[in-house]
Amino acid sequence: MSLFNPETVACPSCGAAVEFNAVFSLNADRRPDLRAAVLDGSFQRQPCPACNTEFRLDPEMTYLDVRRGQWIAVFPVANLDQWEELEARTLATFARAYGPKAPAAAREIGYGLKARLCFGWAALREKLVAFEHGFDDVILELTKAALVRGLDNSPVAIGTELRLAGVDGDQIAVAWLTSADEEVKEILRAPRSLYDEIAADRTGGWTALHATLSSGPFVDLNRLLALTVG
């Protein structure tokens, strides 16, 4: 079931009170339309009735897609600096819902689910796009790391993020965007073969970073960034 709660938030432009039907549980199996709205960026976005400025409610919810094996705890980007604490909370929530502490029927479903934690709509969307293209999200993050390694100015910084936008033929398109409003600053491209090479790597060159990125449900390059800053 998808669950919503009425919530009043201040319009970021004029301050007027805006009513939102805030989602706190999204079931993509039963509501494919909501999954589609996450993908096209329209979900939980609406105009302010006073000034007509469109804005988006920050996500704080769980996302479930049993068919695709995805269970994702989503928090606002503003909570990124608490990822370690939220990672522990995410693991506890998953354990109660689908893990060792869940009833047998739910545990059965849980075997097929990958638990993830992400911050913001762009990060959630990326997990869905990655699945569509058959990407393992850990390898995808390593590919992004390889992509930015060759750049003079690293686009990985507080306030911006790199998110898989899609795949064009043999090119992976990665959007460098502003976290606050998801505005795309630039589209970076990498050959899909870079992903395939990293996935097939047996030299051990990626082993340490792979282990770091996959050591918890927060599979994201920001894990390293937050570590550096924190």
17 binds Zn ion (CB under 5 A): no
Name which of 12 and 205 has its Cβ closer to Zn ion.
Answer: 12
Asked if residues 127 and 70 have their Cβ atoms less than 8 Å apart, the reply is: yes
Name which of 16 and 157 has its Cβ closer to Zn ion.
Answer: 16
Shortest distance, CB of residue 9 to Zn ion, whole angstroms?
11
Shortest distance, CB of residue 45 to Zn ion, whole angstroms?
14
- Closest by alpha carbon to 122, among 180, 187, 185, 82? 180
Q: Name residue 41's amino acid.
A: G
Site for Zn ion in 115-134 (CB under 5 A): none
β-strands 70-75, 114-119: how paired? parallel
Site for Zn ion in 39-58 (CB under 5 A): 48, 50-51, 53
Of 13, 42, 193, 215, the one binding Zn ion by CB under 5 A: 13
Shortest distance, CB of residue 4 to Zn ion, whole angstroms?
22
Shortest distance, CB of residue 134 to Zn ion, whole angstroms?
41
Shortest distance, CB of residue 153 to Zn ion, whole angstroms?
35
Of 16, 17, 92, 184, the one binding Zn ion by CB under 5 A: 16
3-state secondary structure the chain: CCEEEEEEEECCCCCCEEEEEEEEEEECCCCHHHHHHHHHCCCCEEECCCCCCEEECCCCEEEEECCCCEEEEEECHHHHHHHHHHHHHHHHHHHHHCCCCCCHHHHHHHCCCEEEEEECHHHHHHHHHHHHCCCCHHHHHHHHHHHHHCCCCCCCCCCEEEEEEEEECCEEEEEEEECCCCCEEEEEEEEHHHHHHHHHCCCCCCHHHHHHHCCCCCCCCHHHHHHHHC
92 binds Zn ion (CB under 5 A): no
Name which of 15 and 112 has its Cβ closer to Zn ion.
Answer: 15
Name which of 55 and 71 has its Cβ closer to Zn ion.
Answer: 55
Name which of 16 and 227 has its Cβ closer to Zn ion.
Answer: 16
Residues touching Zn ion, count (CB under 5 A): 8
Shortest distance, CB of residue 52 to Zn ion, whole angstroms?
7
Name which of 50 and 151 has its Cβ closer to Zn ion.
Answer: 50
Residues lying near Zn ion in the complex (CB under 5 A): 11, 13-14, 16, 48, 50-51, 53
